[in-house]
Structure 1
Amino acid sequence: MSTEPRTVSVNVLVTKSLEIDEPAWCIDPHSSAQFRPDIAHNGPEIAASFETRLGPVDYLRAWISHAPYAALQDEPLPIVAVEVDAEVVTLDPDSLRAFTATTRAHLDALDRLADELDHIRGGGQ
């Protein structure tokens, strides 16, 4: 048995503060970021809200977002994140305009459905 000191390499996680540029529109406290790729800048949310008999329902939440250090970043610039059916989709300006056009068309269809319901409730077939 040797009496000489031995060494071993141990992987340790070292935590230190990282100073990053903060966009003026970002309101995220960044408290959940543990690694550089986790850093995301998020702006204020907007949401449509509708009052029902059971209380308000918020839908189509959206906000500007940018993850400048994300490993699999498709878009190097800020995007808009939209929550649809509990899923978040990220859209560039052209995709967001296409999404809103589709949504407007759907809203028109909902208006026609309301008209049909009025007709049915009014005794029409």
Structure 2
Amino acid sequence: MSTEPRSVVVNVLTTKALEIDEPDWCVDPHGGAQFRPDLTHNGPEIAASFETSLGIVTYLRAWISHAPYAALADEPLPIVAVELDAEVVTLDPASLRAFTATTRAHLDALDRLADEAEHIRGEAR
């Protein structure tokens, strides 16, 4: 065994504050971002709510979102994030319009189901 002093190279992570441009619409405090790719700007959230016998159900949460430094960002500009079935999906404006058209058609189908249920129950409008 050698008694000579040895040295090793160790990669260490150093941090410093990073000043970034903040869009006017961003309301996110960015507390969780530790690396540039983690940074996401999020706008105010909108959501639909409906009161049921079990309480208020909140659904279709949505907000403008942009991760300007994400390495695999598919969209260089802000997109809309929508929470569907506990998953968050991101949609460009054209995809969001297609989603809302599909949702409107589904809402019409729900109205038809309500009409049918009323008819079956003898509660015609």
Deviation string for 1:3-42 (max 9, x for gaps)? 4x53321111111111000000000000000111000000
Instruction: Say if 1:112 and 1:13 are closer, same or farther in 2 by CA, change over 3 A.
Output: same
Q: What corresponds to 1:119 in structure 2?
A: 119
Q: What corresponds to 1:70 in structure 2?
A: 70
2:36 corresponds to 1:47: no
Q: What corresponds to 1:89 in structure 2?
A: 89
Aligned residues: 123
Identical pairs, percent: 81
CA distance in 1, matches of 2:43, 2:24: 9
Secondary structure, in 3 states, of the residue corresponding to 2:8?
A: coil
CA distance in 1, matches of 2:89, 2:14: 33
Q: List, as ranges, runs of 4+ consecutive aligned residues in structure 1 with deviation greater than 3 Å.
A: none
Q: What corresponds to 1:60 in structure 2?
A: 60
CA distance in 1, matches of 2:63, 2:73: 17
Deviation string for 1:95-123 (max 9, x for gaps)? 00000000000000000000001001117
Structure 1-normalised TM-score? Answer: 0.93
Query: Which amino acid is the alignment partner of residue 48 of structure 2?
Result: A
Q: What corresponds to 1:108 in structure 2?
A: 108
Query: Which amino acid is the alignment partner of residue 21 of structure 1?
Result: D
Q: What corresponds to 1:27 in structure 2?
A: 27
CA RMSD of aligned residues (A): 1.4
Gaps of 5+ in 2: none
Deviation string for 1:55-83 (max 9, x for gaps)? 10000000000000001100000000000
Q: CA deviation at 1:2?
A: 5.3
Q: What corresponds to 1:13 in structure 2?
A: 13
Gaps of 5+ in 1: none
Structure 2-normalised TM-score? Answer: 0.93
CA distance in 1, matches of 2:43, 2:112: 35
